Structure 1
């Protein structure tokens, strides 16, 4: 079995596992479970998380060049570390709505905006759960309810940082660091996408101001080379009959000269 076949067979089970992970983790944290109920929720979380780790390792060992595969499949590592991120792929139907993908640039921007917004929402939600679980029962904690945790995650991911609620545990602070880095990365991607859209809108209808892409330059060069080759071929075909006519004219001239010498003198 190769990696493509493996992915095709595991796509749906891993999507279901991702949803089960999210439900079980949310239930455990928001309801502040204890006893057997907490054990059940924790078992579901651990088992589904293990499925993603196994999936990542299997795909890694299936690769012929594992180093190159690792570098080109960083999203797979993100799915393994944060399984609920796989739910972002459910948003693919949004990116295929009519009118959103008229050009290649539009398709890329739509994918980035939709998946970026989905990843931001999931990141805020899962970090809210994580920080609440770390902070809820800690001494002098201020993040003690899910509503406060959501507020804290929103102001942290946007790097606003009002400071009204701050984590006091090492685990909570580690979640905050991850949320800040994730927020900066997502904000940079979304900002760059919006900037690209603004530039395209500003140059629309003014083709002379729009920069050419490498693909457009390559296409233009290919057309120039094709036209040059066609012109050279046409010149060659025209030159061939002309050369043949000149070659035929030379014997005719010789025959005329010989004919004049053979005439008897009068």
Structure 2
């Protein structure tokens, strides 16, 4: 068994709690946004779960920072983790990161790299889109002159934004809604770019393997007709 650093031991021990915190954050945020007539007691419980999961994100980041001993270099090397702590929209994406870490440790038969990138980027896109739709609907549906008035509108807007289609029939009008829109655009381009690049790489690799299997001299049997 290889020796683990204190940071690696912490990450291994916190994986399941962080997975649960990410899932609970998304669930509690969904209930708070979509259940508009939620009793005050249930609303308070969902709010407590939301803040507790956020606190766990902060504790995890702070502990890893201290254990790394890297100072400000840790922030530069783990900039995405710092952004996830600050922006609630991105916290559900930790589900994908933790799931990949668990799979990498415990799975024997693994998918090819390109297939894993496509699968995880696709899952990240779905989680980002759903969280973005919730955020935009929460900020927009009661705003004056809002064009996003239902959760279905928010899903439609999210789909067109993440895929960079941008029909323009629905647009955020609140400052926070527009900030979320910018994040959705950037995240959508990055994730779809990862999927497209991985798929292209897989195609090139497949064609290259097919070429290597071909016998030298062209088409099989082509030289047979020259024999007497």
Q: Same fold (TM over 0.5)?
A: yes
Gaps of 5+ in 2: 214-228
Is the contact made by 1:78 and 1:85 (CA closer than 8 Å) also made in structure 2?
no
1:12 to 16, 22, 27: 16
In structure 1, how many angstroms separate the alpha carbons of the residues matched to 2:72 and 2:148? 41
Question: Per-residue deviation at 1:69?
Answer: 3.3
CA distance in 1, matches of 2:126, 2:83: 15
TM-score, scaled to structure 2: 0.79
Matched, 1:172 2:177: yes
Gaps of 5+ in 1: 209-266
Match of 2:92 among 84, 93, 102: 84
Structure showing greater Rg:
1
Deviations 1:144-181 (A, max 9, x none): 21111111100001111111111111111111110001
Q: CA deviation at 1:64?
A: 2.2
- Cα distance in 2 between the residues matched to 1:191 and 1:78: 25
Asked if structure 2 preserves the Cα contact closer than 8 Å seen for 1:19 and 1:84, the reply is yes
Aligned residues: 202
Contact 1:135 1:168 in 2 (8 A): yes
Aligned partner of 1:66 in structure 2 is 71
Q: Say which is worse superposed, 28-37 or 165-174, in terms of deviation.
A: 28-37
Instruction: Indicate how the Cα distance of structure 1 residues 114 and 79 shifts in structure 2: closer, same or farther if over 3 A, else same.
Output: farther
Q: CA deviation at 1:67?
A: 4.0
Residue deviations 1:94-135, cap 9 Å, x none? Answer: 9x595x63xxxx3x2122111100100000000000001101
In 2, Cα distance between equivalents of 1:75 and 1:169: 25
Structure 1 residue 74: Cα displacement: 4.1
Matched residue, 2:125: 120
The structural deviation recorded for 1:41 is 1.6
1:110 aligns with 2:81: no
Task: Quote the Cα distance in structure 1 between the aligned partners of 2:143 and 2:53.
Answer: 28
Deviations 1:189-236 (A, max 9, x none): 11111111121122223249xxxxxxxxxxxxxxxxxxxxxxxxxxxx
Question: When the two structures are superposed, what TM-score results if normalisation uses the length of structure 1?
Answer: 0.69
